[in-house]
Amino acid sequence: MKNFLSNLFSSFSKPWWVEISTSNPRWLYYFGPFDTENEAALHKGGYIEDLEQEGAQQISVTLKCCPAPAHLTVDYTEPSSSVTAPVYSSN
Q: Where are the domains of the chain?
A: 18-81
- What per-residue confidence (pLDDT) applies to 31? 98
Per-residue model confidence as pLDDT tens for the chain (91 residues) = 556 555 555 556 799 999 999 999 999 999 999 999 999 999 999 999 999 999 999 999 999 999 999 999 999 987 654 554 445 544 4
- Structure confidence at residue 1 (pLDDT): 57
- pLDDT at residue 77 in the model: 83
DSSP state of 68: P
Distance, in Å, from the CA atom of 16 to the CA atom of 39, rounded to the nearest integer, reads: 8
* Of residues 9, 31, 12, the one with CA closest to residue 20: 31
Read off φ and ψ for residue 36, nearest 5 degrees.
Answer: -135, 160
